[in-house]
Chains A and B, each alone.
Chain A
Amino acid sequence: ETGVTQTPRHLVMGMTNKKSLKCEQHLGHNAMYWYKQSAKKPLELMFVYSLEERVENNSVPSRFSPECPNSSHLFLHLHTLQPEDSALYLCASSQDPTGGNGELFFGEGSRLTVL
């Protein structure tokens, strides 16, 4: 139990589907993140929310749409994805709202397969 819960753990979707990934943190942290982890690539930062405001959008295609309704919840809405978007999507949170210091607490990830 990491204090960061992600659902679903596994998702298979077609390129025309619309789905969402959900993340919830129970740690009282101020910042939440989406990372993408593909095979043989470093963890890629996608989005950062600090105090519920998006502070980083790392040149992510518009087919990925984040939403942070409150400091405990983070969503990643997916639509018209491509097969190369298949990856492990990791949510993380941290106490530091700037995201530059302090430990990242990761969820167990959502394994996405796009057919």
Chain B
Amino acid sequence: GQQVMQIPQYQHVQEGEDFTTYCNSSTTLSNIQWYKQRPGGHPVFLIQLVKSGEVKKQKRLTFQFGEAKKNSSLHITATQTTDVGTYFCCSSSNTGKLIFGQGTTLQVKP
């Protein structure tokens, strides 16, 4: 079935360093969503990208959707301890239902 592959699985950074997680698919995606799950919490919606090459920013977070709509990235500039958590991408499957990537767990050392 359709899969969305996300890398890396884990990332440890020093506070103030940048962080990027990548989401890749072998098929064209109609859209991509990003969620954040804090430790012990539940996934919370961050953003949705729909257009080819789209770039959206939320403060220190930059989201990109590839030109071919087969990949996406989330970049955090100057990480803070509040950024700790697992970041998931997800997209609509060919049946129209949302399929999640494996997630990237970010640890930030103060």
Binding site for B on A (CB under 8 A): 2, 41-43, 45, 48, 56, 90, 98-109
Verify if B110 is at the interface (C-beta below 8 Å from A).
no
A103 touches B42 (CB 8 A): no
Verify if B44 is at the interface (C-beta below 8 Å from A).
yes
Task: Give the docked Cα–Cα distance between A104 and B88 (Å).
Answer: 12
Task: Give the docked Cα–Cα distance between A105 and B6 (Å).
Answer: 21
Verify if B41 is at the interface (C-beta below 8 Å from A).
yes
How many B residues touch A, CB cutoff 8 Å? 22
* Option from B44, B96, B99 in Cβ contact (under 8 Å) with A106: B44
Task: Give the docked Cα–Cα distance between A105 and B96 (Å).
Answer: 17
Give per-residue flags for B81-110: 1 if the beta carbon is below 8 A from chain A beta carbons, else 0. Answer: 000000010101001111111110000000
Verify if B80 is at the interface (C-beta below 8 Å from A).
no
* Option from A56, A103, A108 in Cβ contact (under 8 Å) with B45: A103
- Complex contacts, B31 vs chain A, CB 8 Å: 101
Closest to A35 in B: B100
Closest to B31 in A: A101
Q: Which of B96, B102, B103 has the most CB of A within 10 A?
A: B96
Residues A45 and B99 in contact in the complex (CB < 8 Å), given A90-B42, A106-B44: yes
Give per-residue flags for B32-45: 1 if the beta carbon is below 8 A from chain A beta carbons, else 0. Answer: 01010000011111
Task: Give the docked Cα–Cα distance between A90 and B33 (Å).
Answer: 18
Task: Give the docked Cα–Cα distance between A105 and B42 (Å).
Answer: 9
CB distance from B86 to the nearest CB of A (A): 10
A104 touches B92 (CB 8 A): no
- Complex contacts, A43 vs chain B, CB 8 Å: 43, 88, 90, 100
